[in-house]
Copies of this chain bind each other. A is one copy, B any other.
Amino acid sequence: MKVGLVGYGKAGQAVARVLQDTPGFELAWVVRKSAGAAAQTVPETSIPLVGLGTSDWAAWLDAHPVDALVDFSQAESLHAYGEALRQRHIMLVSAISAYSPADLDYARDLGRDTRVMCSPNITLGINFLILAAKLLRRIAPFADVEILEQHFRDKPEVSGTARKIAQSLQVEDERITSLRLGGIIGHHEVIFGFPHQTVRLIHNSIERRAFGTGAVFALKQLAECQNGFYTFDDLMMRLVRQELLQSTPA
């Protein structure tokens, strides 16, 4: 699968490395915001690293065709490349967290003509953690729930992921505890307390490249979907739903 990447900040660079390293995927080019006049490439490769204005996208995609776009840039980019994608039925995996409701409406509309996945966090493990926690919350609403997150000393606020977990479980934000310690990259833990047992769901981030694993997962799953608008959750559920229907008792 030929992939174009939009965004070359820390997350984008990490995703680029994963796409380069994953068999079956080819990182065709990277679009970054502040590209200069000079031709550039991703370091130690010949992969082009370019800047594109809104009017440039159609010609670029025709000259450098891809099967999918992965977007780790900013909300505005969606509108720059949207119509060009739509006309060419190019898949989109977007990890932008700052979309406005209007942006999301536009993304949903793109889903009428191509396959679109938008999720603010595309880390596979985190999305699974939320899914599993939601299931246990549904199965055992009587269990006590606490959300514990641990990050590096200077991380300023409660982690957005922890907030999203709380929201998904419909527990109050007071149930979130944030510890700030040394250089911890990212520890999220959901604890379910029962009278005579405890269940802990724990995610540890090792590296920012975890975003890339999620992008690759999303691309593979999306490739098997019909046109439409999906969240990361939808793509996981798709696999899991089959599992659940299979095991339905007669």
- Interface set of A (CB-CB < 8 Å, partner B): 123-125, 128-129, 131-132, 134-136, 138-140, 143-144, 146, 148, 150, 152-153, 177, 179-185, 191-210, 212-213, 217, 228-231, 233-234, 236-237, 239-244, 247-249
Contact = CB atoms under 8 A, between A and B. Distances in A.
Contacts of A143: 182
A144 B181 contact: yes
B177 A197 contact: no
B236 A249 contact: no
A197 B193 contact: no
Given A132-B132, A182-B198, 7 more contacts: A124-B197, A128-B139, A183-B207, A184-B198, A195-B207, A199-B204, A200-B202
B241 A213 contact: no
B177 A179 contact: yes
B181 A191 contact: yes
A13 to B, nearest CB: 13
A132 B191 contact: no
B217 A138 contact: no
A243 B134 contact: yes
A34 B196 CA distance: 28
A206 B217 contact: no
B203 A202 contact: no
Q: Which 5 A-B pairs have the closest CB atoms?
A: A181-B193, A182-B193, A196-B210, A196-B207, A200-B202
A185 B236 CA distance: 27
Contacts of A243: 134-135, 138
Given A132-B132, A135-B131, A181 B201 contact: no
A204 B193 contact: no
Given A148-B179, A249-B234, A197 B203 contact: yes
Nearest to A211: B196
A240 B125 contact: no
A139 B125 contact: no
Given A143-B182, A239-B139, A249-B230, A204 B212 contact: no
Residue of A124, A197, A206, A236 most packed against chain B (CB within 10 A)? A197
Given A135-B128, A217-B140, A228-B249, A206 B184 contact: yes
Contacts of A210: 194-197
